Structure 1
Amino acid sequence: MDINMLKNYCLSMKDTYEDYPFGEDVLVVKVKSKMFALITEKGNCLNISLKCDPVLSHSLREAHASITAGYHLNKTHWNTIIIDGSLPEDEIQWMIKHSYEIVVKKLPKPQRDELLSQK
């Protein structure tokens, strides 16, 4: 996966948009003003940070060397995934969707209902 594939997959979720609140080097993808993905690319190193269930987060880190605690984020609820080809594309997409769904579940009820009614 490259940065455009990651960005496009994140933006394919309902009511998402890109933002750069941390500067032009960090692409943040949000749903209803809440971030669910941070994408950075420095040199040959592409990373995506995603929200994750705490129990699952720990399991993923133990199972994959390319998944670490969220870089500059809450280490309990965020993972940073190094996009180095060691994880299948569908697994990365599943983690992106999981992050999106966690954030949607925490939105205020009117916003959450609006998203769910768009299905």
Structure 2
Amino acid sequence: MDGTDVQRLAARCAEGLPGTELAHPFGPEWDVHKVRGKVFMLVTEVTGEPMVILKSAPDDAAALRQQYAEITPGYHMNKKHWITLHGGALDEGLVEELVTDSYRLVVEGLPKTRRPMTPAPRGR
């Protein structure tokens, strides 16, 4: 799956999650996916390479970076809490799981009264 495929799949997954919106606060070259006003995914080609930037639990982020060459520290984000997906050996199930996990991490940080209904966790 190339980087553009990863972007399309991630965007499709994000659009299906409750309470999400697409914004462009950093300009047209950045698709910023938010839940209740909080960013959980960024999609861009600003470096010339398609990439998807997601929130991740620190331990998960470190393990993912070790396991997959296509997962690097978050581009222009906190390297401990964000990861960047590039094209390559990433399969659809993993991309969908990582998007959903990013969404869930952000939702868990919202006050309970602002949380949309969240999808059930997917197994790894």
- Is the TM-score greater than 0.5? yes
Distance in 2, matches of 1:105 and 1:43, equals: 31
Post-superposition Cα deviations, 1:54-98, rounded to whole Å, max 9, x if no partner, equal 00100000111111110100111000111x231001101000000
Q: Pick closer, same or farther for the CA change 1:2–1:81 going to 2, 3 Å.
A: closer
1:81 aligns with 2:85: yes
Q: Which runs of 5+ in 2 are unaligned?
A: none
| Runs of 4+ with deviation above 4 angstroms | none
The alignment's C-alpha RMSD in Å is 1.9
Distance in 2, matches of 1:44 and 1:75, equals: 20
- The residue that corresponds to 1:47 in the other structure is 51
- The residue that corresponds to 1:10 in the other structure is 14
Whose RCO is larger (CA < 8 A, sep 6+)?
2
Post-superposition Cα deviations, 1:4-40, rounded to whole Å, max 9, x if no partner, equal 3322211110010100111110100000000100001
Question: If the length of structure 1 is used for normalisation, what is the TM-score?
Answer: 0.88
Question: If the length of structure 2 is used for normalisation, what is the TM-score?
Answer: 0.85
Q: Which runs of 5+ in 1 are unaligned?
A: none
- Please state how far the C-alpha of 1:41 moved relative to its aligned partner: 2.5
Query: Identity, % of aligned pairs?
Result: 34
- The residue that corresponds to 2:109 in the other structure is 106
Q: Pick closer, same or farther for the CA change 1:28–1:107 going to 2, 3 Å.
A: same
| Number of aligned positions between the proteins | 115
Contact 2:9 2:96 in 1 (8 A): no
1:9 alignment partner AA: C
- Please state how far the C-alpha of 1:43 moved relative to its aligned partner: 8.3
1:62 aligns with 2:66: yes
- The residue that corresponds to 2:76 in the other structure is 72
Contact 1:3 1:41 in 2 (8 A): no
